[in-house]
Structure 1
Amino acid sequence: MRRALSILASNPLTIAGTLLVALIVLAAALADVIAPFPEHQGAVVDFVNFNKPPDATYIMGTDLVGRDLFTRILYAYRISLILGVAVLAISVPVGVTLGLIAGYLGRRWEYIIMRVTDVFLSIPPLVLALSIMGVLEPTLMNGMLAVTAMWWPWYTRLVYNIARGEKVEGYVLAAEVIGASRAHVMFREILPNCVPAILTKMTLDMGFVILIVSSLSFLGLGVQPPTPDLGSMVAEGADYLPDSWWLSVFPGLAILLAVFGFNLVGDGLRDILGADR
């Protein structure tokens, strides 16, 4: 703990990233309280105040139908964070389990699992997600499944590489000698030594998942209106630049801050946990 606090205190960027992520999470969780116009998260029309620049009432302006952009960004953060957690909650257990099996058992398990993993990794992530969403209906659930389908192979490859090195260590051989089962060796002996790298990657991936989900929505294949989403908000305002700059600039900055914050936290967590050793 002393070492972790010492590393954290010597890295102001990590502190800034932690505060930024904490602020985003709190803003999303308390959106119902913080948002000045909670009803603007849905299908509300206010043509009297449409396309207004930032002022004292609408601090980030309004969109093309009069909805408060600040309110919609808060609720969009909530959806992005929920999607990020859901994607990692599915892809991490799947990828980690397959990586442990391939790395520890080897032989035909290694060949089958890693060849399938290589096929998925050979396809650019956004292209794979676009292909899946091109077949499925563009809904929130299908968007989550599309991103999940392209994320588990990275954890499989990461854990596989670690498990291959750990399975020849003395503590693993000792567990095998006393008759520990394969499941015990994989999940009780090897997995704890994979946790630092997994946690670091999960933190970094939260930002990337938000970016990918926003990219899908920007192309019209993610979260659908009137549900607020950062990517679709950027897309809606892109045609009105530079006159109505606030329509795209503020949602774009929201994406930038989220990705930047999670990357700073991930870098700091890597140093604290020693995941780069």
Structure 2
Amino acid sequence: MKRTISILIANPLSLLGVVLVATVVLSALFADFIAPFPEHRGAVVDFANFNKAPEWPYIMGTDLVGRDIFSRILYAFRISLILGVVVLAIAVPIGVTVGLVAGYFGGWTEYILMRITDIFLSIPPLVLAMSIMGVLEPTLANGMLAVTVMWWPWYTRLVYNITRSEREEGYVLAAEVIGASPLHVIFREILPNCVPAVVTKMTLDLGFVILIASSLSFLGLGVQPPTPDLGSMVADGAKYLPDSWWLTVFPGLAILVAVFGFNLIGDALRDILGADQ
């Protein structure tokens, strides 16, 4: 713990990442209490206050139907974090398991699993997600599915490389000599050595998942109105630049804060976990 605190204090960017991520997470968790107009997350119309520039009580202005942008950004953070957590909760176990099996057993098992992985990796992630969302109904659940399908191969490749380098180490050979089963060797001996790299990548990927999900929404293939989503808010406001700049600038800054914060936290975790090895 002391080493962790000292690393964070020594790197101001790490502290900035903690502050940014804490701001995003707390905003999402307590949006119901922080948002000045919580009802504006839904299908609300207030033409008396439509398209207002930032002023009190609309500190980030209002959209074209009078909804408070600040309130909608808080709820959009919630949607983005839910999507990111669910995607990684599904993609990471799949990718890690496939990588462990392919790296440990080798042979035809390795060849088949890694060629399937390479097929997915050869397709640009956003193109693959767009293809899936173009077939399915654009809902939050389908958006999670689309992003999950494109995300697991990256963990497979990462864990596969680590497993290949670890399977000839003395502790693995010793476990095999005393009769440990392949499952024991894979999940009790090799997997713990993959955890630091996987945890660091998960933290970095939370920001990238939010960015990809926002890109899908920007193209009209993600979360659908009236549910607040950062990508769709940017897309709706882009038509009215530069006059109604607040419609796009504040949701865009929200995406920047989330992605930048998780990247800084990922860098800090890499330093901390590397120092603990």
* TM-score category (smaller protein): over 0.9
Q: How does 1:1-277 map to 2 (within 5 A)?
A: 1-274=1-274
> How many pairs are equivalent?
277
Give the AA of the match of 2:47.
F
Partner Cα distance (2:228, 2:126) in 1 = 21
Gaps in structure 1 of 5+ consecutive residues: none
**Displacement after TM superposition at 1:4 (Å):** 2.5
> Contact (CA 8 Å) 1:14, 1:267: kept in 2 or not?
yes
**Displacement after TM superposition at 1:276 (Å):** 11
Deviations 1:83-139 (A, max 9, x none): 000000000000000000000011111001100000000010000000111111111
Partner Cα distance (2:221, 2:56) in 1 = 34
Partner Cα distance (1:215, 1:246) in 2 = 19
> Contact (CA 8 Å) 1:196, 1:275: kept in 2 or not?
no
Partner Cα distance (2:3, 2:60) in 1 = 42
Partner Cα distance (1:209, 1:42) in 2 = 24
- Rate the CA distance shift 1:225–1:275 in 2: closer, same or farther, 3 A: farther
- Rate the CA distance shift 1:204–1:166 in 2: closer, same or farther, 3 A: same
Partner Cα distance (1:56, 1:72) in 2 = 16
Partner Cα distance (1:157, 1:171) in 2 = 23
Partner Cα distance (1:275, 1:152) in 2 = 27
TM-score normalised by the chain length of structure 2? 0.98
Partner Cα distance (2:97, 2:154) in 1 = 12
Partner Cα distance (1:120, 1:12) in 2 = 38
**Displacement after TM superposition at 1:275 (Å):** 8.4
Partner Cα distance (2:70, 2:81) in 1 = 17
Q: Secondary structure at the match of 1:202?
A: helix
4+ residue segments displaced more than 4 Å: none
Alpha carbon RMSD of aligned pairs, Å? 1.1
Q: Secondary structure at the match of 2:241?
A: coil
Q: Secondary structure at the match of 1:274?
A: helix
Partner Cα distance (1:12, 1:56) in 2 = 33
Deviations 1:47-80 (A, max 9, x none): 1100000001100000000000000000000000
Identity of aligned residues (%): 79
**Displacement after TM superposition at 1:6 (Å):** 2.2
Partner Cα distance (1:155, 1:29) in 2 = 28
Partner Cα distance (2:6, 2:49) in 1 = 51
Partner Cα distance (2:109, 2:263) in 1 = 34
Partner Cα distance (1:71, 1:119) in 2 = 41
Gaps in structure 2 of 5+ consecutive residues: none
Give the AA of the match of 1:100.
L
Partner Cα distance (1:199, 1:138) in 2 = 30
